[in-house]
Structure 1
Amino acid sequence: MPPTSSPGSTLDPSSSRPGLPLGPDDPRRLDGYRLLRRLGEGGQGVVYLAVPEGGAPVALKLLRGGAAATPRARARFVKEANAAREITNRHVARVLDADVTGDRPYIVSEFVDGPSLQESVEEDGPLTAGQLRRVALRSAAGLAAIHRAGVVHRDFKPGNVLLGPDGPKVIDFGVARTADATPVTTSGAVGTPAYMAPEQIEDEPVGPPADVFAWAATVVFAATGRPPFGGGPSAAVMRRIVTRPPDLGDLSGELRDLVTHCLNKNPAARPTARQIVRALRDGEPPAPRPRPKQIPRYRWRMMLALTAVVLTGFLLGILL
């Protein structure tokens, strides 16, 4: 049944997140929900502002492809819904309802009536020191709750942190995966280039440390107005992420030290989201123990191929 209320939300036509008008192919109603406008779109589906009968507005994500969606896509959607229901934290948008078995699977979550961190910084400039610390702490607390539920967000970025009336909330599990899930696509990395961790770019296994890297890059954007590895073509940004140190601008103090640890290119050397919260809330500095970074699979393949070429040349030299 559709929820009758969503705490902290009111239906306001002048909402700070107006979205886009519905297109000719967008549904106007879905079960007990009336769809008002689009809030966003991703690889897995479209998110709408919707209103249940007699209720307050919600965010409804409709699985792309509907009845024609592949069994794999539908299974991922079911996993996402089940995992998201386990996350109960005031800094994460709550899941209120879901139907993952019908012809048009959807997930309904809390509607956060406020701009994204991306929009806020682009419009008003970098956050003040006090604002930055609050956003950093509360978004890290949301991320810690997500990880406790066994979920990896995979696309944490300024656009997925909404500044609602009751504080920042992490949203959008469009590419979120349970920690034991297989890769989402067969075409490589998933995420937003400027906030991707090196292991995502190198198509290596992605876990909570990738979200920590993205959190740190998001904090740098909030403090400086730009991501730590710059902008431009995606390939250039990703190359800088893998090979160059971050540019933290005038970010200073303990937050600079913490962000530096989180942007370590070795996932094992990064603190956990829970350690970040303790550092910001209690002043307890994290002390991760770096381990030798494993050689990526593709580099093993390159080394094996090179070894085969050298051996072949050696053998041919002996025989000839």
Structure 2
Amino acid sequence: MIGFVPMQPELPRTFGPYRVVARLGSGGMGEVFLATSPSRRLVAVKVIRSELLGDPRWRARFRHEVTSARSVSGFYTAPVVDADPDADQPWLATQYIRGVSLSGVVRDRGPLPEQAACRLGAGLAEALIAIHQAGIVHGDLKPSNVLLASDGPRVIDFGIARPLDALPLSRSEVLGTPAYMSPEQALGEPVTTQSDVFSLGATLVYTATGSAPFGTGHKVRGRIVHAAPDLSRLPDPMRGLVTRCLVKEPQERPSPEQVLTALTTLLDAHYGDEWPPTDVEELIGVQERTLVEMTAELPTVREVPEAAP
């Protein structure tokens, strides 16, 4: 999980003024690279996958992602540094977060302790408040879109974020990750801020137990719509709040502000506010050492190639 994929000779070396150092990962629409600015600041650059460049729908979706990401501010999101959605290969540069993914931490080290899970949930609730205040729904809150940094979590990837007043998608256009989407999202119905609250609850279950509340597989959307979540391994202090987050009716779920209040109350009453967990701190340390090794022999600013036209 820790480490970076070395660059291959056939891959691009720059996007705009940013020199690519390594590949961080890839998803359905894009690839993400670690890169440096001319002043040697680290950024994460997301680009559209090359095989999608000829489809104007993907270009439009990427342009919308840039607009959504630029509109969000807050302690728990990654701020946009630069972007060129009209380039031959559109790209979006955000501040590089020195952290590790929640999905990778749980996969490699197991569920987070109760205290850390509550602190994580409070940070995610605060991030959702900032996202919703910008007038958008994230739509894909899940463990792989959460980074754990030494000063708290960050929510990333606004690839399918939508304005609050957007028209609902058709069933054939439903976007998101099935194991963490809300029932209304799975049905192609109108999605509101409460859909993100459902995804927050599902992410907290994974954080504290290591499993999604409705399982995985091709039938998970049906279970999300019709079945009860498996919360049997969830710590007692968290169970009541998460149960409310995962109710089927959106209007019966708590708001992100109410989630934040409930979790901070739990932290004050039961756990305290220590962060990061020991395992997360160790993994961040490993990643930092890898970064130092990778960037130690980078060329000086004078040797950074000029920005592509």
Q: TM-score range by the shorter chain?
A: 0.7 to 0.9
Report the alpha carbon displacement of residue 251 of structure 1 after superposing the two structures with TM: 2.1
1:91-110 matches, cutoff 5 A? 91-110=76-95
Q: Summarize the Cα distance change of 1:69–1:89 in structure 2 as closer, same or farther, 3 Å threshold.
A: farther
Match among 5, 19, 34 for residue 34 of structure 1: 19
1:226-305 matches, cutoff 5 A? 226-231=211-216, 233-234=217-218, 236-281=219-264
* Residue equivalent to 1:81: 66
Report the alpha carbon displacement of residue 257 of structure 1 after superposing the two structures with TM: 1.0
1:132-151 matches, cutoff 5 A? 132-151=117-136
CA distance, structure 1, for counterparts of residue 154 and residue 250 of structure 2: 25
Contact 1:43–1:174 (8 Å) recurs in 2: no
Report the alpha carbon displacement of residue 182 of structure 1 after superposing the two structures with TM: 4.7
CA distance, structure 2, for counterparts of residue 131 and residue 267 of structure 1: 27
Q: Summarize the Cα distance change of 1:179–1:23 in structure 2 as closer, same or farther, 3 Å threshold.
A: farther
CA distance, structure 1, for counterparts of residue 42 and residue 117 of structure 2: 29
The amino acid of 2:105's aligned partner reads S
Contact 1:79–1:178 (8 Å) recurs in 2: no
The amino acid of 2:232's aligned partner reads G
The amino acid of 1:208's aligned partner reads T
Match among 129, 145, 154 for residue 160 of structure 1: 145
The amino acid of 1:49's aligned partner reads L
CA distance, structure 1, for counterparts of residue 41 and residue 249 of structure 2: 44
| SS of residue paired to 1:115 | strand
CA distance, structure 1, for counterparts of residue 46 and residue 155 of structure 2: 15
CA distance, structure 2, for counterparts of residue 240 and residue 186 of structure 1: 17
The amino acid of 1:143's aligned partner reads L
1:202-221 matches, cutoff 5 A? 202-221=187-206
Q: Percent identity?
A: 44
Contact 2:23–2:34 (8 Å) recurs in 1: yes
Contact 1:150–1:178 (8 Å) recurs in 2: yes
Report the alpha carbon displacement of residue 254 of structure 1 after superposing the two structures with TM: 4.4
Higher CA-based Rg: 1
| SS of residue paired to 1:250 | coil
Report the alpha carbon displacement of residue 228 of structure 1 after superposing the two structures with TM: 0.7
C-alpha RMSD of matched pairs (Å): 2.3
CA distance, structure 1, for counterparts of residue 100 and residue 183 of structure 2: 29
User: Comparing both chains, which one has the higher relative contact order based on Cα–Cα distances under 8 Å and sequence gaps of 6 or more?
Assistant: 2
Match among 44, 69, 77 for residue 59 of structure 1: 44
Q: Which moved more, 1:148-157 or 1:98-107?
A: 98-107
Contact 2:119–2:263 (8 Å) recurs in 1: no
Q: What are the Cα deviations for residues 69-122 of structure 1, in whole angstroms up to 9, with x where unaligned? A: 444433332332222222111111111111122222211111112221111111
| SS of residue paired to 2:6 | coil
| SS of residue paired to 1:62 | strand
Contact 2:197–2:253 (8 Å) recurs in 1: yes
* Residue equivalent to 1:43: 28
TM-score after normalising by structure 1: 0.76
Report the alpha carbon displacement of residue 282 of structure 1 after superposing the two structures with TM: 5.0
Q: Where does the alignment leave 5 or more consecutive residues of structure 2 unmatched? A: 267-309
Report the alpha carbon displacement of residue 185 of structure 1 after superposing the two structures with TM: 7.9
Q: What are the Cα deviations for residues 119-151 of structure 1, in whole angstroms up to 9, with x where unaligned? A: 111111111121111111011111111111112
Q: What are the Cα deviations for residues 143-176 of structure 1, in whole angstroms up to 9, with x where unaligned? A: 1111111121111111111111221111111222
Q: What are the Cα deviations for residues 260-287 of structure 1, in whole angstroms up to 9, with x where unaligned? A: 111011112112212211222357xxxx
Alignment of 1:120 onto 2:102: no
In the alignment of these two chains, the number of paired residues is 266
| SS of residue paired to 2:36 | strand
CA distance, structure 1, for counterparts of residue 166 and residue 8 of structure 2: 33
Q: Which moved more, 1:214-223 or 1:236-245?
A: 236-245
The amino acid of 1:94's aligned partner reads P
1:16-35 matches, cutoff 5 A? 17-23=2-8, 26-35=11-20
The amino acid of 1:225's aligned partner reads G
TM-score after normalising by structure 2: 0.79
